[in-house]
Amino acid sequence: MIAEEWLAKQDREGRAAATIKKNRWLLEFAYPIIGDRPIRDISAPEILIVLRKVESRGTYETARRLRSTCGIVFRYAVATARAETDPTFALQGALTTPKVTHRAAIIDPSGAGALLRAIDGFDGQPATRAALKLAPHVFVRPGELRTAEWHEFDLEQALWTIPAAKTKMRRVQKVPLSRQSLQILENIRELTGNGPLVFPGVGNRRRPLSENTLNAALRRLGYDKSEMTTHGFRAMAASLLNEMGTWNPDAIERQLGHVEANDVRRAYARAEFWDERIQMMQHWSDYLDELRVKPAK
């Protein structure tokens, strides 16, 4: 089966196991209907039947991703002379567009200051408190924060290097550490520095905090899921940094781990914005301190 051959190719290329598992899960929606058909004979209406069956469950985003994944398989078949066209191209616009759900986030200065003060008063587990305190300063993705390991940090150089395997874009992400971030890390190192994880879970020092743990901590502080989530620290930073008008928007995007699609521009940006990002991250932490002690009016 061409789809299984493509999945095996992904494995050889070192794609993340979670990515391959997700692609297999998607393709299994199609297998019962078109899995045994010669790939060059499969038509757009046949694929649409598969996608409509997924849509009938109300899972519009899953149907959209399945169409995309099937298209990759068909283009692989074309490249390897097993098919002549990609019939999924004809299905553009045929599927229901999923409603975009924006993650809750506090993006006004006054609200950010109140949240920071609430975090200072959190009286739960030390690792949870430290993760909440660090999150607004570094604004990485929640999974990157929760699974942080001590070997990723060079505290003398004020640098956190997140391995490619942990990032959404599968590219190494470098995070300049402000003085405030370094202090938070130094404090928690006294408690967790003898293990691999910066923020281990309760009862098992070799397992990281769960995202549910951090979101539950925000609930304990009085912020429900419609107001703030752990992921919302990224939107907070993106919004307030852009509003400052001081920083190059591309530098902000690079620090958020958003990868430029154009290879040439990406290589240029990687070299150009590092010094600015170092300055920006220190300025951002200083700004958070100002909001914490003197909320904006």
Return the active site residues. 141, 168, 231, 234, 258, 268
CB count, 10 Å around CB of 224? 10
Report the distance separating Cα 173 and Cα 255, nearest Å: 8
Pairing of strands 200-201, 173-176: unpaired
Task: Give the CB-side neighbour count of residue 281, counting CA atoms within 13 A.
Answer: 29
Bridge partner residues of 204 (DSSP): 201
Pairing of strands 200-201, 159-162: unpaired
What residues contact 18, with CB distance under 8 A and at least 6 apart?
none
- Using an 8 Å Cβ cutoff, are 2 and 86 in contact? no
Q: Name which of 134, 91, 128 is nearest 116 in CA terms.
A: 134
Q: Name which of 151, 147, 171 is nearest 160 in CA terms.
A: 151
Task: Give the CB-side neighbour count of residue 291, counting CA atoms within 13 A.
Answer: 25
Residue 172 zone, left/alpha/beta (φ > 0; ψ -120 to 50; rest): beta
What residues contact 140, with CB distance under 8 A and at least 6 apart?
162, 173, 175, 234, 257
Q: Torsions phi, psi of 160, nearest 5?
A: -115, 120
- Using an 8 Å Cβ cutoff, are 70 and 78 in contact? no
